[in-house]
């Protein structure tokens, strides 16, 4: 990792600083931030308890933080309902007519659902799921395009205590199958298809393939979106619009223990098998609600647009839950960012008077490349705040985002967090924190971050190391679905001591000696970050090795100007097989088929052998250098066969 870290660091030496805004409503000024942080540090129970009591509990909690992690609990003796807090609470407060979801389909249709309407649709979904046999604690898989029904289906699960697992619509049938099977989902909610770059992305056929022969799946509930013909399995398959027609518009929200499971979201780890991150009700609710309010400084009339898909954690926490919990309008856009023209995003911002835009560095870089003229065609004056998430943002993109999109007026919140953390943990607060390009700045109140060496010892400020978290926070993952041993091993065992739990993030970071600002350097394990999507090298390697011609495969990241990182696959072939363009295409296609298009390797390089240590471990560090076209740096004394490296270099030339 050392070589990569230096490379990132050198790009990020940055001195510019921008002051906080004067008109913030929630946390105003550095002193206010410090006071919150000090309160949270001194007495976390009182701090988080006070925040939690601003939401509605059907049974008040007595305890705030329970056992120490990994077996942590929050508000454990309390009961609540997240859906009721996100919807019913606002309707009861007289905001039923306020827009909850402002949706735009790729072909251009616009739909506004008020909080009342979203509550009705959610109740209908809840009633239909119940009629299909879904009970409290059962798992429901949601594999939909970004349509309002996706939010309603998630909220409906939360309403009745079913556990949703949302699967990104870009995943292929085998990836869907793995997730549905692991979760043991009894119902899959899908659509005929969705729109992307003017073409239909069929979803129902993928579900048909994915669930064939899976005993756990009893029903497939199909939303009609594109209107195209779909194959039908009578008895199993139901149309949403038909079921909806006779479903009641209100069903009561279940009173659920705070630790009742809310959702499982699969994410990549360092092995081939995706991890089912489990989040629970009360802590996740409080965490996403509070952080949305702090970081985005939310106001009642905001039009908040997080461009993520609900298939990722960003979509869970800041398209749906955190934003609706705050009673704020959330924008959903179904399609591709540059369709039909490169100004689609900017036209959307202008037409809907979006006030907060929260997107990913990969999108910002892509827009930057398309030129200033596209955003300049539109009136972006409604924007007051910009957010970034998913990967380190390079200062050049940061500066462009601020100048061209934010009109030098809007602060940028570079928010660091993970599927596992559930909520934002490190970010500027727009009214308190001076920002600096490329820096996620300071931990939020209640979060204790440290940078440590390989032995868990804190490194001096200014030196790079591993980012760890030393205090529990409410929205943290509780476990890995059906694999608590792996949960402990991956996140907790390495540095925790009795009475002093330490959560390992898997990211590198460096703390600035001047002001304590954190700069996140990216992953230190074998997880890639392509366009803000986490991908395990092992997952891609398994897909490649599954091809008949392949003997061995190793995937590494190489820097890519738009996607941040791109997948570079090194492949050795079985005896009697020879490299060809056709095979290269077939391998790329195989990854697309097994995982999804977003995982397709940018480069596939054939080689006679892979560089290995004496103990047989593939030396990824060397492959990374080769992939990036760099001189191979660092120690190669353990390399088994030096000639392998020489050959890889030659093949490149």
Considering the rule CB under 6 A, would residue 577 count as an interface residue with ligand PRX?
no
We find the least distance from the C-beta atom of residue 168 to ligand PRX, in angstroms, to be 11
Closer by beta carbon to ligand PRX, 309 or else 414? 414
By the 8 A CB rule, do 288 and 313 touch? no
Separation between Cα atoms, residue 566 and residue 586, nearest integer Å:
18
Exposed / middle / buried, residue 437 (Cβ in 10 Å: 0-12, 13-18, 19+): buried
Binding pattern for the stretch 297-336 against ligand PRX, x by CB under 6 A and - elsewhere: ----------------xx----------------------
Q: Which of 453, 617, 510 is nearest to 10 (CA)?
A: 510
Chain residue whose CB lies nearest ligand PRX: 419
| 590, two tokens | 């195989």
3-class secondary structure, 570: strand
HSE at residue 509, side-chain half, CA atoms within 13 A, is 31
Separation between Cα atoms, residue 337 and residue 96, nearest integer Å:
31
Considering the rule CB under 6 A, would residue 625 count as an interface residue with ligand PRX?
no
- Total residues contacting ligand PRX by CB under 6 A comes to 22
Q: Which of residues 472-511 bind ligand PRX (CB under 6 A)?
A: 505-507
Considering the rule CB under 6 A, would residue 74 count as an interface residue with ligand PRX?
no
Q: Which of 309, 367, 308, 310 is nearest to 343 (CA)?
A: 367
Closer by beta carbon to ligand PRX, 191 or else 530? 530
We find the least distance from the C-beta atom of residue 507 to ligand PRX, in angstroms, to be 5
Contact with ligand PRX (CB under 6 A) among 415, 435, 439, 479: 415
Contact with ligand PRX (CB under 6 A) among 309, 391, 541, 594: 391
- For the chain, the helix, strand and coil percentages under 3-state DSSP, each to the nearest 5: 35, 25, 40
Binding pattern for the stretch 187-226 against ligand PRX, x by CB under 6 A and - elsewhere: ----------------------------------------
First to last CA, the chain: 25
Closer by beta carbon to ligand PRX, 70 or else 522? 522
| 476, two tokens | 């943290």
Separation between Cα atoms, residue 155 and residue 219, nearest integer Å:
19
Contact with ligand PRX (CB under 6 A) among 158, 185, 385, 389: 389
Considering the rule CB under 6 A, would residue 116 count as an interface residue with ligand PRX?
no
- Between the CA of residue 80 and those of 75, 86, 498, what are the distances in Å? 10, 11, 32
We find the least distance from the C-beta atom of residue 646 to ligand PRX, in angstroms, to be 33
Exposed / middle / buried, residue 215 (Cβ in 10 Å: 0-12, 13-18, 19+): exposed
Contact with ligand PRX (CB under 6 A) among 170, 335, 522, 564: 522
Q: Which of residues 528-547 bind ligand PRX (CB under 6 A)?
A: 529, 534
Considering the rule CB under 6 A, would residue 440 count as an interface residue with ligand PRX?
yes
Considering the rule CB under 6 A, would residue 267 count as an interface residue with ligand PRX?
yes
Closer by beta carbon to ligand PRX, 73 or else 359? 359
Contact with ligand PRX (CB under 6 A) among 168, 266, 417, 481: 417
By the 8 A CB rule, do 282 and 258 touch? yes
Contact with ligand PRX (CB under 6 A) among 352, 471, 478, 523: 523
By the 8 A CB rule, do 204 and 192 touch? yes
Residues near ligand PRX (CB under 6 A): 267, 313-314, 389-392, 414-419, 440, 505-507, 520, 522-523, 529, 534
């Amino acid at each position: 990792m050392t070589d990569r870290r230096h490379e990132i660091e050198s790009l990020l030496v940055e001195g510019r600083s921008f002051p906080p805004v004067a008109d913030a409503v929630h946390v105003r000024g550095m002193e206010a931030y410090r006071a919150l942080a000090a309160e949270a540090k001194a007495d976390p129970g009182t701090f988080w308890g006070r925040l939690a009591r601003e939401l509605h509990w059907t049974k008040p909690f007595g305890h705030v933080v329970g056992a120490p992690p990994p077996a942590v609990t929050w508000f454990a003796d309390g009961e609540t309902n997240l859906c009721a807090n996100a919807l019913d609470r606002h309707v009861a407060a007289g905001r039923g007519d306020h827009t909850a979801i402002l949706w735009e389909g790729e072909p251009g249709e616009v739909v506004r659902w008020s909080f009342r309407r979203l509550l009705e649709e959610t109740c209908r979904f809840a009633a239909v799921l119940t009629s299909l046999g879904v009970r409290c604690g059962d798992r429901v898989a949601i594999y939909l395009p970004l349509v309002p029904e996706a939010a309603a289906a998630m909220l409906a699960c939360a309403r009745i205590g079913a556990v949703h697992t949302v699967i990104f619509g870009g995943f292929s049938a085998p990836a869907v199958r793995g997730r549905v099977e692991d979760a043991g989902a009894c119902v899959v909610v899908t659509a005929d298809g969705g729109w992307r770059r003017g073409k239909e992305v069929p979803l129902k056929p993928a579900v048909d393939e994915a669930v064939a022969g899976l005993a756990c799946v009893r029903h497939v509930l199909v939303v009609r979106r594109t209107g195209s013909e779909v194959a039908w399995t009578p008895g199993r398959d139901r149309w949403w619009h038909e079921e909806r027609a006779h479903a009641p518009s209100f069903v009561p929200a279940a009173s659920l223990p705070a630790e009742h499971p809310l959702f499982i979201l699969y994410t990549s780890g360092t092995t081939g098998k995706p991890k089912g991150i489990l989040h629970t009700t009360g802590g996740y609710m409080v965490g996403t609600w509070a952080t949305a309010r702090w970081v985005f400084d939310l106001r009642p009339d905001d039009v908040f647009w997080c461009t993520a898909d609900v298939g990722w954690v960003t979509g869970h926490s800041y398209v749906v839950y955190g934003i609706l919990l705050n009673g704020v309008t959330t924008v959903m856009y179904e399609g591709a960012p540059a369709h039909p023209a490169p100004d689609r995003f900017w036209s959307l911002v202008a037409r809907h008077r979006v006030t907060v835009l929260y997107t990913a560095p990969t999108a910002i870089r892509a827009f930057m490349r398309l030129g200033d003229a596209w955003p300049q065609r539109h009136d972006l004056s409604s924007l007051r705040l910009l957010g970034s998430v998913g990967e380190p943002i390079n200062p050049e993109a940061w500066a462009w985002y601020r100048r061209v999109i934010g009109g030098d007026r809007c602060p940028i919140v570079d928010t660091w967090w993970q599927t596992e953390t559930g909520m934002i943990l490190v970010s500027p607060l727009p009214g308190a924190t001076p920002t600096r390009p490329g820096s996620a700045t300071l931990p939020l109140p209640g979060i204790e971050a440290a940078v440590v060496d390989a032995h868990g010892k804190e490194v001096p400020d200014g030196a790079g190391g591993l980012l760890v978290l030393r205090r529990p926070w409410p929205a943290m993952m509780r476990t890995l679905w059906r694999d608590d041993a792996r949960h402990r091993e991956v996140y907790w065992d390495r540095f925790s001591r009795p009475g002093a739990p330490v959560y390992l993030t898997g990211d590198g970071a460096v703390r600035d000696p001047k002001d304590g600002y954190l700069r996140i350097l990216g992953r230190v394990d074998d997880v890639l970050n392509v366009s803000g999507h986490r991908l395990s090298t092992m997952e891609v390697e398994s897909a490649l090795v599954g091809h008949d011609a392949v003997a061995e495969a190793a995937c590494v990241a190489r820097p890519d100007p738009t996607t941040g990182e791109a997948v570079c696959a090194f492949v050795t072939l079985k005896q009697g097989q020879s490299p060809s363009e056709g095979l290269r295409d077939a391998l790329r296609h195989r990854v697309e088929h097994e995982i999804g298009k977003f995982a397709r390797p940018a480069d596939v390089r054939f080689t006679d052998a892979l560089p290995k240590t004496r103990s047989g471990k593939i030396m990824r560090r060397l492959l990374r250098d080769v992939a990036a076209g760099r001189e191979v740096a660092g120690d190669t004394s353990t390399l088994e066969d030096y000639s392998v490296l020489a050959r890889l270099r030659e093949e490149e030339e």
